[in-house]
Amino acid sequence: MLEARDLTRVWGKGDAAQTAVDGVDLALGRGEVVALVGPSGSGKSTLGGLLAGIDRPTAGSIVAAGTRIDQLDDDELAHWRGRHVGIVFQDYHLLPTLTASENVELALKLNGQRRGRRAAAKAALYEVGLAEKTHRLPSQLSGGEQQRVAIARAVAVQPDLLVADEPTGSLDRATGEAVFGQLLELRATGTTIVFITHDDELARVADRVVRMVDGRILPEAVAS
């Protein structure tokens, strides 16, 4: 479904340059669930951003369904993200002036859906337990509730690739498990899921665990 080759991302320039991802090769199959784990600063979030197309590699390539997404221009890349990717940010990143429902509707609109967006948004929010709070603004929701809206926004578009950065970081264990369960249900529709976590227990539900250290992926034997 998606294949990254010799992926490198360097932040900064000259003496201040820091290699966050260093020559990573990674192939993701359709419907596969991959956990990206590793210590802080190991490059997990940067790799997640590259895979989701919100960042561009300094070197290397990413091919998704036959398309070199690293070579798309800004608008083509945005279009690709809107149509094929769902993203759950660690910091939620909801649009502050839109209600919970409208945040989800916006993702559906950018996904190209023309009809039934409001109903689909409400359904997605119902699924994450926010049926009563669809008209609330992000500032009127708790951190956990915002995280659930962010998940609903990502799930509602039924993406081909879902990248989630610490998706349950702001949730209590019970809610986290429930919500994460909903994320995993997407695999049934063929969505490839990449989630970044510090939680080894959560990582166990993945089909594959990719462990990162200093921007590199550890070989599976070493990782295990």
Partner 1 sequence: MTWLTRSLRRAPARIVASVLAIALAVGAIGVFAVPGVAAGTLRDLAAEDHLAHVAADVTLIDDIEAIVIPGAELIEGRISRTVATDDGSIRMIGVDFADQSINIVEPDLGRLPGSGEVLVSEGVAEIGESLTLGDASLEVVGIGTTTWWTADDVAYTELSTARSISGFDGANRILVRMTDSGADNLDLAVKDLRSSLNDQDANYLSFPTTVPDGRHPIEGDLVQISTMIGLLGVVAGVVALTLLASTTNTLITERTREVAVMRALGGARRPLRRRLRRMALGIAAVGALIGIPLGIVVANVVARMILTQFVGITPGVAVSGTVIAASLAFAMVGARLVAGRAARRVTKLPLADALRDREGSPFGGRWTNRLLARIPTGGLFERMALRAGAHRRARTTAVVVQLASGVAAVVAVASLGSSIAVFNTAQLDPWTWQSGAQAVDAGLPFDASLADGDATIEPVIVEFGDVGDWEVSIYGLAADTVMIDRAVRDGEWLDGSRGAVVSAGFAAAEGIEVGSTLEVVLASGVSEYEVQGLHPSRGRDVYIPTDVLAADLGAEGRANAFWSTGTADQLDLALPVTVDVFTLDGLFAEDAAARDLIAQVFWVIGLIVVSVAVLGVSSAMAVNLYERRHELATFQAIGGQKHQLRRILITELVPLALVASALGVVAGWYGAVGIIGFFESVNAVEIGTVFATGSVPLAVAGAVAAVSLIGVAAARQASRRPVGLTLRGAA
Residue type for position 85: V
**163 contact partners, CB below 8 Å, separation of at least 6:** 48, 49, 51, 52, 85, 86, 87, 88, 194, 195, 196
122 versus 153: smaller Cβ distance to partner 1: 153
DSSP conformation letters of 5-73: EEEEEEES-GGG-EEEEEEEEEEE-TT-EEEEE-STTSSHHHHHHHHHTSS--SEEEEEETTEEGGGS-
59 binds partner 1 (CB under 8 A): no
Report in angstroms how near the CB of residue 187 gets to partner 1 at its nearest: 21
Report in angstroms how near the CB of residue 207 gets to partner 1 at its nearest: 26
* Binding map of partner 1 across residues 73-102, x = CB under 8 A, - = no contact: -xx--xx-xxx-x-x-xxx-xxxxxxx--x
54 versus 205: smaller Cβ distance to partner 1: 54
Q: Report the C-alpha gap between 91 and 170 in whole angstroms.
A: 9
Which of left, alpha, beta for 202 (phi over 0: left; psi -120 to 50: alpha)? alpha
- Cβ contact 76:152 at 8 Å: no
Report in angstroms how near the CB of residue 39 gets to partner 1 at its nearest: 16
Binding-site size, partner 1 (CB under 8 A): 40
Report in angstroms how near the CB of residue 185 gets to partner 1 at its nearest: 20
* Binding map of partner 1 across residues 122-161, x = CB under 8 A, - = no contact: -------------x-xxxx------------x--------
Rg (CA), the chain: 17
Report in angstroms how near the CB of residue 153 gets to partner 1 at its nearest: 7
Helix (H, G, I), strand (E, B) or coil at 82: helix
Stretch near partner 1 under the rule CB under 8 A, chosen from 103-111, 189-197, 198-206, 208-216: 103-111
Query: Which residues of this protein are in contact with partner 1, per CB under 8 A?
Result: 45-46, 49-50, 52, 54-56, 74-75, 78-79, 81-83, 85, 87, 89-91, 93-99, 102, 105-107, 109-111, 135, 137-140, 153
